[in-house]
Amino acid sequence: MSDAQGTTEATGTAADTEPTAAGGPGRGIAFLKGHGTENDFVIVPDPDGVLELTPAAVARICDRRAGIGGDGLLRVVRSAADPEARALAGEAEWFMDYRNGDGSVAEMCGNGVRVFARYLQHAGLAEAGDLAIATRAGLRRAHLAKTGEVTVSMGRAELLPDGVTVTVGDRSWPARNVNMGNPHAVAFVEDLGHAGELRAVPPFSPAAVYPDGVNIEFVADRGPRHVAMRVHERGSGETRSCGTGACAVAVAAARRDGADPAVTGSPVTYRVDVPGGSLEITELPDGTVEMTGPAVIVAQGTMDPAWLVTALG
């Protein structure tokens, strides 16, 4: 990616930026573009925490017609420089400040954390091997394989009381209520086409179960411990993939199939196909869920200063 004045390196420093996207972008803001199973993100390096990205600014940056385009934005900031992550600074140097494509703040993003880890490696801020990352959902540990895949320990799935119903048109399904640091409603369907266009949030009830919205997954079987899904992500619409959603789906499918690692003492692994590829999800006997999949950096450049002034005000 480049602006009219050419592409510049964007590898771990926000030194070429003035403090705020909303007030005075000056020489522009460095960015990269990356994706994990085609769930794509704008990456903004801000190691010292000097940028103030308002919801409106994030939404415009993520706009696919008037901005750079992305399902969400990953701000890369040192944990010690951000009040939300300062308590984790002793365990993780870097904090993933994730925003949905509409500018709203999110607790966690599974594909995003893989892309975040890949960025740190790309920028020379991390090497292949193990890496701790601070998120709003807590500490996440990633393993950067030399093959290019990234495995992330996503924490434990919280299976909450059911009683949720998801509706599309004249069809309704019961949904499994799963929390992966963010909320998910998992509905098993015969055909993924039954999910419809997913341009708007599928109606769900009771609404009080998800006061801040929910990610809704529609899941169809493909074979033994193999499912496919489509997802409407809270704040982003239908996306090509959702990492936390794939984790929620694998756990919900395992329980539906009578598999519980805590009972058997053996890991349970599901392949979860998404429109943008496949993810491997493993639930360990201690309840920890691990996700393995690709993460790719595709471009880097600088947001044009004139565009920032005009578009972001």
**172 belongs to a structural domain:** yes
- Tens of pLDDT, residues 28-46: 899 999 999 999 999 999 9
Q: Can you give the CATH number for the domain in which 123 is found?
A: 3.10.310.10
Please tell me whether residues 256 and 165 are part of one structural domain: yes
Residue 208 sits in the same domain as residue 144: no
Q: What is this structure's pTM?
A: 0.87
pLDDT at residue number 147: 84
58 shares its domain with 96: yes
Residues 184 and 263 in one domain: yes
Residue 188 and residue 132 share a domain: no
Q: Does 246 lie in the same domain as 190?
A: yes
Q: Which two tokens stand for residue 135?
A: 């998120």
**pLDDT at residue 7 in the model:** 34
Are residues 163 and 133 located together in one domain of the fold?
no
Domain count, the chain: 2
Q: What is the pLDDT of residue 26?
A: 59
**Reduced to 3 states, what is the DSSP secondary structure of residue 201?**
coil
Residue 21 forms part of a structural domain: no
**Which pLDDT score, from 0 to 100, does residue 52 have?**
87
The tokens for 186 are 């998992």
Whether 167 and 288 share a structural domain: yes
Q: What are phi and psi of 173, to 5 degrees?
A: -140, 145
**The Cα angle at residue 307 between residues 61 and 22, in degrees rounded to 5:** 65
For the CA atoms of the chain, what is the radius of gyration? 19
246 assigned to some structural domain: yes
Whether residue 277 lies inside any domain: the answer is: yes
286 in a structural domain? yes
Q: What is the pLDDT of residue 21?
A: 38
Residues designated catalytic: 109, 242
How far is 187 from 289, CA to CA, in rounded Å?
A: 20
Task: Identify the three-state secondary structure at position 309.
Answer: helix
Are residues 117 and 132 both part of a single domain?
yes
Question: Could you tell me if 58 and 127 lie in one domain?
Answer: yes
Regarding whether 288 and 300 lie in a shared domain, the answer is: no
Indicate whether 71 and 138 sit together in one domain.
Answer: yes
Q: What is the percentage of the chain residues whose pLDDT exceeds 90? A: 85
| DSSP character string of 215-237 | EEEEEEEEETTEEEEEEEETTTE
Which tens digits make up the pLDDT trace of 119-173?
999 999 999 999 999 999 999 999 999 888 999 999 999 999 889 999 999 999 9
Within a domain: 153: no
Domain span holding position 241: 158-292
The closest alpha carbon to 245, from 227, 263, 225, belongs to 227
241 in any annotated domain? yes
The answer to the question of residue 127 being in a domain is yes
pLDDT in tens, the chain (313 residues): 333 333 333 333 333 333 333 334 457 899 999 999 999 999 999 999 999 889 999 999 999 999 999 999 999 999 999 999 999 999 999 999 999 999 999 999 999 999 999 999 999 999 999 999 999 999 999 999 988 899 999 999 999 988 999 999 999 999 999 999 999 999 999 999 999 999 899 999 999 999 999 999 999 999 999 999 999 999 899 999 999 999 999 999 999 999 999 999 999 999 999 999 999 999 999 999 999 999 999 999 999 988 888 777 6
Please give the pLDDT value at position 156: 96
